[in-house]
Amino acid sequence: ALITLRQLLDHAAENGYGVPAFNINNMEQGLAIMEAAEACDAPVILQASRGARKYAGDIMLRHMVQALAEMFPSNHIVMHQDHGNNDATCLSAIRHGFTSVMMDGSLEEDMKTPASYAYNVEITRRVTTAAHAVGASVEGELGVLGSLETGEAAAEDGSGAEGKLSHDQLLTDPDQAVEFVMATKCDALAIACGTSHGAYKFTRKPDGDILSMETIRRINEKLPNTHLVMHGSSSVPQALQDLINANGGHMPQTYGVPVEEIERGIRMGVRKVNIDTDCRMAMTGQYRRIAQEMPEEFDPRKFNAPAMEELRALCRDRFERFGTAGQA
């Protein structure tokens, strides 16, 4: 059944586990993620970006999620708007059956310049009031996701923001986080701890200098009733980079967030773990392999079936390691 983010993350906090939030925009992803959730007896957050809504269409997404809820009746599902940019995006999502929205006021609407704190508080407070009035949950964001390695912020499309950011902007300040939640009443808070979106997060395996799980501990200590969210949580597995590159791909060597770091983050209070890039790579690795190994093949299902199997395996692994398995 569909539930709200607040309902799911309250349970996760009480029981000390994390929940992956997987991005979806098509049926194959939805089925593969839910089959994994069913196999692990896990609840799950499905999320759609603005781009995903445009790609699939709101009516298609709404019916797809309802179909998944009907097909997998024993799993709790949250349907969440990923990176809502304004009131209209968030409220139209709720109208289309989303039970939760992210109001990302951390960047101005053009998604290029870090927003002022006042702008972020005002727009997040406004969306939270409206969402709570109709029973939906809200995730806010404080701090700009960006690389501590380069000082560059990355916009959600992976393009760089203008100029370099200071360490202060790249790590959420715990006192400001408390003030932000008091003022906005948001249910969950995305924080900046050194992760960034996309495949190219780090040029080496990250250590405490460029990935700060300590930031999470400090914020969680002061905000026990607000659920912390880690964006940019793909691990960019070496095996998937290798599979893609062995089959005609050209992905330069890169490093993501090691799963053991996410496990540490969950112990320090992270409850929602956003993953998109890994899911894309899992499917694309198999699409490339089939294209290479079976050049005579032209039935899309012959490509989709192994892609879904690879995605299922990835999701099962995350459910198990995040402690979501068995909590359906």
Annotated binding residues for dihydroxyacetone phosphate, as ranges? 198, 232-234, 274-277
Site string for ligand G3H, 193-232 (x = CB under 6 A): ----x-----------------------------------
Residue in 53, 125, 227, 231 binding ligand 13P, rule: CB under 6 A: 231
Decide: 314 and 23 in contact? Cβ < 8 Å.
Answer: no
The residue (of 184 and 235) whose beta carbon lies closer to ligand 13P is 235
Amino acid at 303: F
**Cα angle value 208/210/214 (rounded, 5°):** 45
Q: Please report, in angstroms and rounded to a whole number, the separation of the first and last CA atoms in the chain.
A: 10
Catalytic status, residue 209: no
Among ligand 13P, Na ion, ligand G3H, none, the one that 51 touches (CB under a kind-dependent 5 to 8 A) is: ligand G3H
User: Contact between 231 and Zn ion (CB under 5 A)?
Assistant: yes
**Cβ 111 to Na ion, closest distance in Å?**
9
Residue (144 or 243) nearer to Na ion, CB: 144
Q: How many residues does the chain have?
A: 328
Does residue 51 bind ligand G3H (CB under 6 A)? yes
Is 139 a residue that touches ligand G3H (CB under 6 A)?
no
Contact by Cβ (8 Å): 198, 159: no
Handedness of CA 142, 190, 156, 184 (dihedral sign): negative
C-alpha dihedral over 197, 214, 320, 41, to 10 degrees?
Answer: -90
Applying the rule CB under 5 A, the residues between 246 and 305 that interact with Zn ion are: 274
Residues 56-115 that bind Na ion (CB under 5 A): 106
Which position among 82, 187, 278, 317 bears the catalytic label?
A: 82
Q: Which residue is nearest to Zn ion (CB)?
A: 231
Q: From CA 96, how far away is CA 92, in angstroms rounded? A: 6
CA gap 256, 200 in Å, rounded = 7
> Is residue 234 a contact residue for ligand 13P (CB under 6 A)?
yes
Please tell me whether residue 196 binds Na ion under the rule CB under 5 A.
Answer: no
Residue 144 in contact with Na ion, rule: CB under 5 A: yes
Which residues are within 8 A (CB) of 20 and not within 5 positions of it... i.e. 6 or more apart?
44, 45, 233, 273, 274, 275, 315, 318, 319, 322, 324
Give dist(CA 39, CA 316) in Å, integer.
8
Among 35, 141, 156, 310, binds ligand G3H (CB under 6 A): 156
CA distance 297 to 124: 49
318: contact with ligand G3H by CB under 6 A: no
Q: Does 212 bind Na ion (CB under 5 A)?
A: no
Residues near ligand 13P, by CB under 6 A: 23, 82-83, 197-198, 231-234, 274-278
Catalytic residues: 82
Q: Which residues bind ligand G3H (CB under 6 A)?
A: 23, 49, 51-52, 82-83, 156, 197, 276
